[in-house]
Amino acid sequence: MSLLLTVTGRDHPGVTAALFDVLAEHGATLSDVEQVVVHDRLLLGVVVSGPGDGGPLRAALEVRAAELDVEVEFTPLPDDEPPFVGDRHHVTVLGAPLAPAALAGIARRVASCGANIERVLRLSSYPIAAYDLLVSGGETCRLRAELAAEAVAQQVDVAVEQATLWRRARRLVVLDVDSTLVQGEVIEMLAAQAGCEAEVARVTAQAMAGELDFEASLRARVALLEGLPVSAVNAVRAQVRLTPGGRTLIRTLKRLGWAVGIVSGGFTCVTDDLVAELGLDHALSNTLEVVDGRLTGRVLGRVVDRARKAEALREFAAAQGLTMAQTVAIGDGANDLDMLEAAGLGIAFNAKPVVREAADAALSVPFLDAVLFLLGVPREEVEAADAADLAVR
């Protein structure tokens, strides 16, 4: 017979050490330990067995617990209780705000899938709330479907990822550029310079919604830019702004030793600057033809469409010596669908409905660094690393 010791009370230094001294004095055999502190309140669970789990041990623990101003509860456990065998998942829940009703709905759906929440870890409290739930049991596809439906009902974001070794491994993260890493669509900014913004915007919307072939639509839009001087292109380059949180996301990924790349249906006139500014490892985008200082209205070489984006993801992974299970892809439009499907984790960022439905995870918050929460990185660790960097400058 094993014994579960549940210790609760105000946390203070020395509590755990003092209780484990008692276990050692009575020859108890340690089987399991879990401890968490929430706002200075301790919850410690210890499973012991052997000759030291009887009456003398209980009496000694009660005396020591009283001295430490904590409470201890004893629960006998059968020795033949089978260990858990099955899948585990990380369920990340994000909201601004994240109401109790939302967590209740998520927990209810988890239970309906035959799964159980083993642990909850806070990843962030501002500017959005984010929690990581370690869930045992349940089937991945069903969990994703059920929790996606609950996310819509509760107006929160939910991501489901299998708890595997790859979550801790070095990874490759590849981002779309327009409306993902940067704000807005560069071709529309070029169109504004050329005076054909409305016409280009209509074609862009149809292409991103999957209603038009991307290559044909891109060539048609670029044709409208014929004659635009390079000075106007340079003006657009200066106007491009990163999505809030984008710099933090990439800086943090690089600190972790991860590889970061971009693939874009946009243009090298913007992505080359991003590579230099952010220290990116890989990049692929389209090249606008320029003759005598003006755009010709043509794209050089093969167009970077949805199939080419997926190919680039595989090529970048191979160059880094990583498996596809170690890849993460982030995008917002139909042109990103193949890449999101090919990645170990595909994330739709403020995406079109067709993309949200196809992705492994979807974010609707305006901050790109929220991706870090889906990867299990807490905000406090990001801020601590930033503060350490500032301290040595």
**Run of H or E including 93:** strand 88-95
**Run of H or E including 43:** strand 41-49
What b/e string do you get for 286-316 counting C-beta neighbours within 10 Å, with b at 16 or more?
bebebeeebbbbebeeebbbbbbbbbbbeeb
Select which of 178, 305, 336, 338 is catalytic.
178
Nearest to 7 by CA among 56, 54, 74: 74
Select which of 53, 132, 157, 176 is catalytic.
176
Q: Are 175 and 271 in contact (CB under 8 A)?
A: no
Cα(64)–Cα(227) distance, integer angstroms: 84
- Asked if 178 is an active-site residue, the reply is yes
Cα(135)–Cα(241) distance, integer angstroms: 38
- Asked if 40 is an active-site residue, the reply is no
Long-range contacts of 108-115 (CB under 8 A, 24+ apart): 108/150, 109/146, 109/147, 109/149, 109/150, 110/135, 110/138, 110/143, 110/147, 112/146, 113/137, 113/138, 113/139, 113/142, 113/143, 113/146, 114/138, 115/89, 115/143
Tell me, what amino acid is at 293? G
Cα(264)–Cα(254) distance, integer angstroms: 20
Site of tokens 């550029």: 177
DSSP 3-state percent helix, strand, coil across the chain (nearest 5) = 45, 30, 25
Question: Does the CA dihedral 191-192-198-204 come out positive or negative?
Answer: positive
Site of tokens 């330990």: 33
Kindly state the tokens that stand for 73. 């509860």
Cα(340)–Cα(194) distance, integer angstroms: 33
Which residues are catalytic, by number? 176, 178
